[in-house]
Amino acid sequence: KTYDVAVVGATGAVGETMLSILAERDFPVGNIYPLASSRSAGKTIEFKGQQVEIQDLATFDFSKVQIGLFSAGGSISAEYAPKAAEAGCVVIDNTSHFRYDEDIPLVVPEVNPQAVAGYTRRNIIANPNCSTIQMLVALKPLHEAATIERINVATYQAVSGSGKEAIDELATQTANLLNGKPVECEAYPKQIAFNCLPHIDVFLDNGYTKEEMKMVWETQKIFGDDSILVNPTAVRVPVFFGHSEAVHIETREKLTEAKARELLSQFEGIEVLDDREPGGYPTAVTEAATHDPVYVGRIREDISHPRGLNLWVVADNVRKGAALNSVQIAELLIREYI
Positions marked catalytic: 130, 243
Sign of CA pseudo-dihedral 30, 39, 72, 169: positive
Min. distance of Cβ 157 from ligand A2P in angstroms?
14
Is the Cβ–Cβ distance between 273 and 297 less than 8 Å? Answer: yes
What 160-165 contacts at long range (C-beta under 8 Å, 24+ apart), as own/partner pairs, is 160/13, 160/240, 160/241, 160/317, 160/318, 161/130, 161/200, 161/236, 161/243, 161/317, 161/318, 161/321, 162/187, 162/188, 162/236, 163/12, 163/13, 163/14, 163/187, 164/12, 164/13
Cβ-contact 22, 5 below 8 angstroms: yes
We find the least distance from the C-beta atom of residue 37 to ligand A2P, in angstroms, to be 3
15 near ligand A2P, judged by CB under 6 A: yes
Q: Is 9 in the site for ligand A2P (CB under 6 A)?
A: yes
β strands within 252-293, DSSP E: 270-272
Q: Tell me if 34 contacts ligand A2P by CB under 6 A.
A: no
Per rule CB under 6 A, is residue 72 in the interface with ligand A2P?
yes
**Is residue 83 part of the contact set for ligand A2P (CB under 6 A)?**
no
Cα separation, 17 vs 34, in Å, equals: 12
CB of 231 to ligand A2P, least distance (A): 28
Does 112 help bind ligand A2P (rule: CB under 6 A)? Answer: no
The dihedrals phi and psi of 198, each to the nearest 5 degrees, come to -85, 55
How far is Cα 175 from Cα 182, in angstroms, rounded to an integer? Answer: 10
Site string for ligand A2P, 156-195 (x = CB under 6 A): -------xxx------------------------------
Total residues in contact with ligand A2P, by rule CB under 6 A? 17
Rule CB under 6 A: choose which of 40, 123, 155, 326 binds ligand A2P.
40
Q: Which of 6, 11, 94, 156 is the binder for ligand A2P (CB under 6 A)?
A: 11
- Contact string 119-158 vs ligand A2P (x = CB under 6 A): ----------------------------------------
- Which residue ranges make up the site for ligand A2P (CB under 6 A)? 9-13, 15, 36-37, 39-40, 57, 72-73, 76, 163-165
